[in-house]
């Protein structure tokens, strides 16, 4: 089972790295999943991820305090707004815009009700 956890962790790291370059693909959730999977499969990989200069602090803050940095919240909010306005510009049907708006609104509520690190 450890091999499965390790493979899932590696897939999440790859997706997270792709998310750094692709604006609509989230990075931090994949890194949080990778930390979860590595904690169950490889102490070395788990420690590497927690000590990573870019991803480590966000993961540690989430694991210890359930906290998200204010800058990450602002960036996520801006990204969500851009995605929603692109959907409007593409002329999506109103029912799809309503569903998307509801889901994105719920994401924003969750995001902004987490403590700041």
pTM of the predicted protein model: 0.75
b/e per residue, 17-48, with b = 16+ CB within 10 A? eebeeeeeeebbebbbbbbbbbbebbeebbee
Count the Cβ atoms, other than its own, within 10 Å of residue 54.
Answer: 9
Domain definitions of the chain by residue range: 2-65, 70-113
Per-residue pLDDT of the chain (117 residues; tens, 9 = 90+): 999 999 999 999 999 889 888 766 778 889 999 999 999 999 999 999 999 998 899 899 988 998 998 988 998 899 889 889 999 999 999 999 999 999 999 999 999 999 987
Structure tokens at 74: 């602002």
């Amino acid at each position: 089972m450890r091999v499965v956890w390790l493979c899932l962790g590696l897939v999440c790291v790859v997706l997270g790295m792709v998310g750094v370059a692709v604006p609509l693909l989230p990075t931090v959730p994949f890194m949080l999943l990778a930390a979860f999977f590595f904690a169950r499969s490889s102490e070395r990989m788990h420690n590497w991820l927690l000590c990573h200069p870019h991803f480590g602090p966000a993961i540690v803050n989430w694991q210890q305090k359930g906290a998200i940095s204010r800058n990450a919240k602002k960036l996520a909010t801006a990204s969500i707004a851009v995605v929603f306005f692109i959907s409007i510009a593409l002329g999506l049907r109103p029912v799809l815009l309503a569903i998307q708006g509801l889901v994105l609104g719920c994401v924003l509520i969750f995001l902004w009700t987490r403590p700041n690190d």
